[in-house]
Amino acid sequence: MNAPQEQMGSGSSSDMKKNGSRKKFFILLSACILLCAAVILIIFQQKQAVVSEPRTLRVSLYPIVPDMERYKKAVTMNWEAKHPDIKLELVDWYCYDEDLPDDLDVFVFDGIYLTEYLEKGYLLPIPEEAIQDIEDFIPFTTDGLRKDGNFCAVPQLICTSLLYTRKGDTELAGVSDTVMLYEKLGDRKNQSEVPDENEGLLIDMSGGTSKVIMYLDAQIDYSDTYTEYEDLPVKETFSEEALDLLRLLVKMGGAAQVKYKSESDELYERARWFAEGKGRAYIGYSETMAMMGDGVNEIDFRLFSYSDRGGVPLFSVDLAGVNAKISDDKKELAYELVDMITSEEAMAKVVMPEGIGTPQYLLPARIHIYDLLSEASPVNGQLKVIALDPKNKFLRMGSNAHEYISNTKKELPDLVFPKE
């Protein structure tokens, strides 16, 4: 009996150890399960918090328009109507002088920098299906923008220099290039900053970037051959004939006037002067007519060539793009914003006056909006003919556009303006 009793005692001890081990295992397993559940819950709550927080899109609009506040209002109101929980933060960014900030989600820029931005990888491809009515864009504005079913950027506005004369000035009625204009005006006699009534040419040559663009435009017009300027001309290869065309503009306008820059940074001051009767002719963008008030009814305007050898109608194209560094959760929203700010609906609100507001005379990159604009004003009917001219071309520059402009704008004044 003793032996069996000893065996029973030994078996009972073994079972107790096994039970204790199982208990510890289940305790540890339970603790692990609870810990994992807690971690999963925390992660889930954090994700829920991120999703529920209103997101912000940082956007920069093209800054050089007659009524920037109307432009901003049109964009923000349209966006808030669709996405009241997603804020638009409007950022002041100037594509001509500044690198693209990493945290800028959507931005509008001058197409002269398109090649450079593509080279630097700044632009996120935008699926074509994200953009409505792509067949409505003026054909030349999408040249080089579409590849493999994507847009690299989307056209919004276009602009070019126009020649303005007065309706009663029949001698200038048929003039449309620099050489013909100089034959009529000759050298300006009065060298004051502000010209007398009906005297000389009004033109702004005070800006560095604008002078570079004028030179490139003049070189294309003189050669009567379009180029995208992948290889930009340097000082040693500048066309003397193109420089001579710019020198004629200085002679007609007077050095003091063409170099004049308003201390108040008033946009398009020369357009206002022209509407007041000063100057005999004026060269400027279409949107400068916003400064002329009722004076627009007393003027004629037309496409302008720097050369009398034919020329190519060259347009700057403002483009809306998405930053390639945008976070994944914002991409679809960014595509939607680009579509919205380049749409006919948004452009109509920017260009058309509210109530008795002043028309902006901007040139949208879409076709059918011009029908609506033409109904509102005969001036817009004339702009429609100019904007839809099949000979129009997209002003492009090479992959070093910023560096090129920075260097060339320092060199041109000595080559174009008379020595003081």
The residues that are catalytic are 159, 287
SS3 helix, strand, coil % of the chain, rounded to 5?
50, 15, 35
For 165, phi then psi, to 5°, come to: -135, 170
Q: From CA 409, how far away is CA 418, in angstroms rounded? A: 16
Beta bridge partners of 315: 394
Q: From CA 162, how far away is CA 301, in angstroms rounded? A: 6
Of 318, 284, 321, 328, which is closest to residue 395 (Cα–Cα)? 318
Q: Using N-to-C axis directions, what is the helix angle for 401-416 and 240-253, rounded to 10°?
A: 60
Of 314, 312, 304, 315, which is closest to residue 221 (Cα–Cα)? 312
Q: What single letter denotes the amino acid at residue 210? A: S
β-sheet with 161-166: strand ranges across: 197-203, 279-285, 161-166, 299-303
Convert 116-180 into a string of H (helix), E (strand) and C (coil): HHHHHCCECCEEHHHCCCHHHECHHHHCCCEECCEECCEEEEEECEEEEEECCCHHHCCCCEHHH
SS3 87: strand
- 384 contacts 391 by C-beta, under 8 angstroms: no
Of 136, 129, 61, 77, which is closest to residue 343 (Cα–Cα)? 136
Q: From CA 8, how far away is CA 299, in angstroms rounded? A: 119
Q: Sign (positive/negative) of CA torsion 194, 195, 197, 202?
A: negative
- 114 contacts 153 by C-beta, under 8 angstroms: yes
Q: From CA 226, how far away is CA 394, in angstroms rounded? A: 9
Number of other residues whose CB lies within 10 A of the CB of residue 30:
10
Q: From CA 38, how far away is CA 115, in angstroms rounded? A: 51
Q: From CA 354, how far away is CA 23, in angstroms rounded? A: 79
Q: From CA 216, how far away is CA 229, in angstroms rounded? A: 9
